[in-house]
Amino acid sequence: MFRTAHVLAGAALLATLGCATSSKPIGAAGDAASRVYVAPGEHDELYAFMSGGFSGNVTVYGLPSGRLLQQIAVFSQYPEKGYGYSEQTKAMFNTSYGFVPWDDAHHPQLSITNGQADGRWLFINGNNTPRIARIDLTRFETEEIIEIPNSSGGHGSPYITENSEYAVSATRFALPTPQEDMSIKDGKFGGMLSFVKIDPTTGGMTLAFQIHVPGYDYDLARSGKGPSRDWSFFTSYNSEEAKTLLEANASQKDKDYIAAVNRKAAEACVAGGKAKNWNTPYAHNRVGEDGMARTEMIKTQKVLEVTDCPGLLYFLPTPKSPHGVDVDPTGEFIVAGGKLATTIPVHSFSKMVKAIADKAFDGDVGGIPVLKYEAIIAGEVQNPGLGPLHTEFDGKGYAYTSIFISSEIVKFSLKDFTVVDRVPTYYSIGHLMIPGGDTEKPYGKYVIALNKITKDRYLPTGPELTQSGQLYDISGDKMKLLLDFPMTGEPHYAQALPASVLKEKSQKTYSLTDNKDAYATKSEKDVKVVRQGTRVHVYMTAIRSHFLPDNIEGIQVGDSVFFHLTNLEQDWDVPHGFAMLGAQNSELLIMPGQTRTLTWQPQRPGVYPFYCTDFCSALHQEMQGYIRVSVKGSSVPLVWNGGSGTLGK
Amino acid sequence: MMTWKRWPMLAVLGLALLSGGCGGKDDDDKDKGKEREEHGKEETELSAFELEHGIGPVKEPIQLGAIDKAMAATGKSVFETKCSACHKMDTLYIGPALGEVTTRRSGAYIMNMILNPQEMVERHPIAKQLLAERMTFMANQNLTLEEARAVLEYLRTQSKNAPKP
């Protein structure tokens, strides 16, 4: 009896230790914890780049751990990094509407070579004031943003082509093209599909041409691969051209269209002078060799009318208000997510080519041939669930579609289009992402659900709750939930690639010797303060753990003081920060070897401190200085310490 | 009825589970191995060479002859960009005065301190002592071997007893 009691006590003790089996989270695989465990100091298997949605950022996560590694500032001012506040980065937000310091980041796309992510750049679109940004993946910094003219709601973007020749963009909201003052109800609106050429060496973007299309809402896009490499596909809804209460009025017809664009035909027409010059201004912002972002305002663009370029564009009828349009790794299947449809239609590229050759048309819309649905369809997935949106591929003959209304992922076979597995998501999945699952050679192994709503999944945080990513193992026949983690903004699409592609080329510092900033100070002996009227340039350095100069006198109310701060460090992970009392912008965060400039307009006489914000050493708290501000016209001379300065000598 | 023979086995099983935690993967052992390795590194005694010439990529004494003026000029420009923010010649600044450093330390020691400061302040008794006094790390400015050698040549010119070029 005594012994038995001990055994029971032992068993009870073991139970209270809480090994996973007794408190398994809903839906998770039994060995989930060990499958996503990355030991302290170990690295993740994959980098994942998630759209930060309305935060305007891109977030970088490690998979399978779901650990947040970095936030890349793209379409929003980001005071932590001084992005959009420092003189070097302000121009990134210039548009034809002026300084627009926010946008809604949607679809990240890794650059690809031969249909596979090459780890050079990440492109992402801004939806609100249509733009495409390019992020350099050695530095994880935004280097270029191009505005897309004659567009609104740049949603179907950037969806690049097989060898990163182009990023595309489609206007989601039909509008007067070109813009003019007209009646909403009676005005004739148009749409625009844009092709942005990507320089194969620098990644630099130029707007090559635009295609003027009927005024539907163009939603999402994909460019083809393999046999379909010369084509890009755009879904549209609201072929009813409703302008009010689209919720009901844009869902009248049984079918809307996928626009299939033959890029080669477009290129030939543009080269043959068929495009017209339009004159809608747009901004192109790019970081130069000296680290300074500059804006070029461009005044014209080439626009093709479909009727001037036969063979350019065909409509693929597709039920019903289709959302996603995704091309499988072989380039043959074009899967449409008919968000209000009861099936998932899968078009065949080879049938489409044949239908075009056979002229199997169901009439035309504004000169655009409409292909016969029966002539192009490869199959329809029956009973996929309610609200199919987006599809990714595992490279093993299966497709995975996110189902919004019924909150699930369905897996179906590309052989017979039957559903073979389904799992719930928590909750309201939008996009989903398989690493490389949109390329010719998917990495597979995982699928991540990007959920809009989390309701009861985490500790509540007031009215606004986080969005989430959910990681599923797809290596077996059945999908298994492994991990559930919170995400920033509304995570739209995402991309991932093996860590080995990127991690060795991650840049550690900027070379001080190669620093080409016009105001760089490469040695303490060169620090100085220069007055030009009411503009005062401070050439300042930072190294562990002091600024030089750190005492300046002779600044006056009404001056604009430019702190040009160069970080003299040449070691990894030693940025310095700079914060100035009363500055009406942000801090600076300066990477080793880099120069950044903050502008300060002193308002009242006195002595004002500045300090380093990024903990840099045991003497970080000592990294501080003072500036004396006198009244306008004061006789206090301009003096400083360090370099040629005389203060303290 | 349970016998005495089986009870100790259960106890052992219980202990194993306790110490293994929920993961119980061999990753734990890997971590321990790593810790041991790191401890082992610290405990290793320095060789006579390392005590005199420091720890780093320079494994042999540097032979010093007449001053190489061109090399010293290169060293001066590297020093001004990457070192002068913390070191002066005649006075303690952020780091020690370097005017007479070549009379205090060997050429190889100076180069190893430039090229491998992290390990030097962790393991070399002199560098450890200096860190304890100054409380600020010698920054690794990522000089190349050639640049460090040139800085050494420049530092030689700064000594009162500098050899003639």
pLDDT of residue B27: 42
**Calpha distance A386→A391 (Å, rounded):** 14
What phi, psi does A579 have (nearest 5°)? -130, 135
pLDDT score for A394: 98
For residue B1, pLDDT beyond 70: no
Residue type for position A638: L
- Measuring CA to CA, how many Å separate A318 from each of A336, A360, A393? 8, 16, 21
Asked whether the predicted pLDDT for residue A613 surpasses 90, the reply is: yes
Q: Is residue A171 within 8 Å of A146, Cβ to Cβ? A: no
Most A-contacting residue of B30, B84, B87 (CB-CB within 10 A), to test interface: B84
Q: Is the pLDDT of residue A162 over 90?
A: yes
Within 8 A of A617 by CB-CB distance, chain B residues are 136-137
Q: Which residues of chain A neighbour B85 with C-beta distances below 8 Å?
A: 523-524, 541, 543, 546, 548, 568
Classify residue A594: in a domain, yes or no.
yes
d(CA A354, CA A349): 9
User: Is A111 inside any structural domain?
Assistant: yes
Average pLDDT over residues A152-168: 96
* Minimal C-alpha gap between A508 and chain B (Å): 11
Which residue, among A607, A604, A605, A543, has the nearest Cα to A578 in the 3D structure? A543
pLDDT of B14 higher than 60 = no
Residue where the block lists tokens 């072929």: A239
The mean pLDDT of A118-131, rounded to a whole number, is: 98
Sequential DSSP letters for A16-48: HTT-GGGGPPTTB-TTHHHHH---TTPPPSEEE
Query: Reduced to 3 states, what is the DSSP secondary structure of residue A81?
Result: helix
Question: Are B23 and A543 within 8 A, CB to CB?
Answer: no
The model's pLDDT over A511-531, given as tens digits with 9 standing for 90+, comes to 999 999 999 999 999 999 999
Question: Using a CB-CB distance cutoff of 8 angstroms, which residues of chain B are in contact with residue A524?
Answer: 84-85
pLDDT, tens digit, 9 for 90 and up, residues A2-11? 444 443 443 4
H/E segment holding residue A318: strand A313-319
pLDDT at A495 over 80: yes
**Average pLDDT value for chain A:** 94
3-state DSSP call for residue A8? helix
Q: How many domains does chain A contain in total? A: 2
Amino acid in position A526: D
Kindly tell me if the per-residue pLDDT of A204 is higher than 50: yes
Determine contact: B6 vs chain A, CB below 8 A.
no
User: Is the per-residue pLDDT at A249 higher than 70?
Assistant: yes
- Mean pLDDT, chain B, whole residue set: 80
Distance CA B134, CA A26 (A): 55
**pLDDT class for A489, splitting at 50, 70, 90?**
confident
Question: Does residue B40 sit in helix, strand or coil?
Answer: helix
Instruction: Please name the residue that has the structure tokens 């700064």.
Output: B158
The answer to whether the Cα torsion of B44, B47, B53, B56 is positive or negative is negative
Distance (Å, whole) CA A399 – CA A402: 10
User: Exposed/middle/buried for A476, CB within 10 Å: 0-12, 13-18, 19+?
Assistant: exposed
Does residue A121 sit within a domain?
yes
pLDDT at B7 over 80: no
Cα dihedral B5, B11, B17, B20, rounded to 10, equals: -100
Give, as one character, the DSSP assignment of residue A105: B
Four-residue CA torsion sign, B73, B76, B81, B83: positive
Amino acid A231: pLDDT? 98
Answer yes or no: is pLDDT of A23 > 50: no
Residues of B in contact with A39 (CB under 8 A): 27, 30-31
As a whole number of angstroms, the distance between CA A384 and CA B60 comes to 72
The pLDDT tens digits for A299-308 are 999 999 999 9
Percent of chain B with pLDDT over 70: 72
Q: How far apart are CA A16 and CA A532, in angstroms?
A: 73
3-class DSSP state of A496: strand
Query: What pLDDT band is residue A16 in, cutting at 50, 70 and 90?
Result: very low
- Whether residue A42 is contained in a domain is answered as no
At residue A20, does pLDDT exceed 80?
A: no
Measured distance CA(A421)–CA(A400) in Å, rounded = 9
Beta carbons of A537 and A595 less than 8 angstroms apart: no
Model pLDDT, residue A25: 53
pLDDT tier at A339, thresholds 50, 70, 90: confident
Q: In what order do the strands lie in the sheet with A293-298?
A: A109-113, A116-126, A131-136, A141-147, A282-287, A293-298
- For residue range A91-118, what is the model confidence (pLDDT) as tens digits? 999 999 999 999 999 999 999 999 899 9
Q: Indicate yes or no: CB of A523 within 8 angstroms of CB of B84.
A: yes
The residue-averaged pLDDT of A166-186 equals: 96
Q: How many CB atoms lie within 10 A of CB A443?
A: 19
Among candidates B80, B84, B140 on the partner chain, residue whose Cβ is nearest the Cβ of A571: B140
What is the reported pLDDT for A377? 97
Cβ-defined contact of B82 to A34 (cutoff 8 Å): no
The structure tokens listed for A484 are 């559930």
Specify which residues A78 forms β-bridges with: A83
Q: Supply the pLDDT for residue A247.
A: 84
Chain A residue with minimum CA distance to B81: A523
Q: For residue range A395-428, what is the model confidence (pLDDT) as tens digits? A: 999 999 999 999 999 999 999 999 999 999 999 9
Q: Is B80 on the interface with A (CB under 8 A)?
A: yes
- Provide the residue range defining the domain that includes A204: 78-215+275-308
Across residues A58-76, what is the average pLDDT? 97
How many Å apart are CA A551 and CA A452, to the nearest integer?
51
Mean pLDDT of A69-73: 97
What whole-number distance in Å separates Cα of residue A548 and Cα of residue A541?
5
pLDDT-derived band at B43, boundaries 50, 70, 90 = low
Which among A34, A512, A548 is the nearest to B82, CB-wise? A512
3-class DSSP string for A508-566: CCCCCCCCCCCCCCCCHHHCEEEEECCEEEEEEEEECCEEECCEEEEEECCCEEEEEEE
Q: Under a CB-based contact definition with an 8 Å cutoff, are residues A521 and A566 in contact?
A: yes
What are the pLDDT digits (tens) for A446-488?
999 999 999 999 999 999 999 999 999 999 999 999 999 999 8
Q: How many CA atoms lie within 13 A of A578 on its CB side?
A: 31
Q: Residue A552 maps to which CATH number?
A: 2.60.40.420
| Alpha carbon separation from B21 to A14, A550, A568, B26, B27 (Å, rounded) | 10, 53, 47, 12, 12
Give the distance from residue B110's alpha carbon to the nearest chain A alpha carbon, in angstroms: 18
Q: Which two tokens stand for residue B104?
A: 């205090």
Report helix angle B145-158 to B107-115, nearest 10.
Answer: 130
> Looking at the domain covering B48-158, what would its CATH class be?
mainly alpha
Interchain proximity A523–B18, CB inside 8 Å = no
Write the ipTM. 0.73
Residue B103 Cα, gap to closest chain A Cα (Å)? 26
- Report CB contact under 8 Å: A571, B141: yes
Residue B44 confidence (pLDDT) above 50: yes
Per-residue model confidence (pLDDT) at position B6: 41
CB contact under 8 A, B142 and A40: no
